[in-house]
A and B are shown apart, each in its own frame.
Chain A
């Protein structure tokens, strides 16, 4: 679990960072090619299975990447354990909710 192994968190953070960087780069290239983002093109892109899979991976990468980053910040600045645990729980629920929402957006029709 996050926060248990520094090396593991370090690797996950770097790995998700690289994937997200590439994903953002790809989206940037798309916006450059289609500056007005017509609905048909946008919809077509997200109807492709490879894009859906990559986007789900991106959402989950954000969840892991953000969780590790925020865990780092919380442990650095919030020393009282009860407060920190409450905040961590809220963040956990938020990230989980975002992941489910993302799945729904991609495949919920």
Chain B
């Protein structure tokens, strides 16, 4: 084996192209949403059980900690959704070139940011 091969490279020292970061973020956002499923189910349950439950849920969402969690979830979900759409498009050969990959990544990030900001302005404040 090559005795001078690199071991234990600092992953942060590796430069990756943008589509690679989008791909990594796609996986991470998927994991994030998975971990927050019980929170979604709990919220749905509370919202449906009674008017008091719904009011209680809305009260909870006024607290900063819950707000942060909610908007983290929304951001993760939006990103995962748009990056997923990019995947589906690439499956039908749309944007699957090198330049297409880079442009697609930029679009995913831009669309995620825009929809997040719109949603936050409308509901988060």
Q: Which residues of A contact B (CB under 8 A)?
A: 14, 17-18, 21, 24, 31-32, 35, 37, 39, 42-43, 46, 62, 66, 69-70, 73, 98, 101-102, 105
Contact = CB atoms under 8 A, between A and B. Distances in A.
Interface of B: 27, 30-31, 34, 37-38, 41, 44-45, 47-48, 50-51, 54-55, 58, 77, 81, 84-85, 88, 91, 122-123
Given A18-B88, A70-B31, A73-B27, A46 B122 contact: no
Given A14-B91, A35-B122, A37-B54, 10 more contacts: A14-B88, A24-B77, A37-B58, A39-B54, A66-B37, A98-B37, A101-B41, A105-B41, A105-B44, A105-B45
20 contacts: A14-B91, A17-B84, A17-B88, A21-B85, A24-B77, A32-B122, A37-B47, A39-B51, A39-B55, A42-B47, A42-B48, A42-B54, A66-B37, A69-B30, A70-B30, A70-B34, A73-B31, A101-B45, A102-B41, A105-B41
**Most central of B37, B81, B122 by chain A CB within 10 Å:** B37
Contacts of A105: 41, 44-45, 48
B45 A66 contact: no
Contact of A62 (B37, B45, B55, B84): B37
B2 to A, nearest CB: 22
A96 to B, nearest CB: 12
A66 B85 CA distance: 16
Across chains A and B, which 8 residue pairs bring their CB atoms closest together, nearest first?
A39-B54, A39-B51, A105-B45, A66-B34, A69-B30, A101-B41, A98-B37, A17-B84
A46 B54 CA distance: 14
Contact of A21 (B47, B48, B81, B91): B81
Contacts of A46: 48
Contacts of B38: 98
Contacts of A18: 88
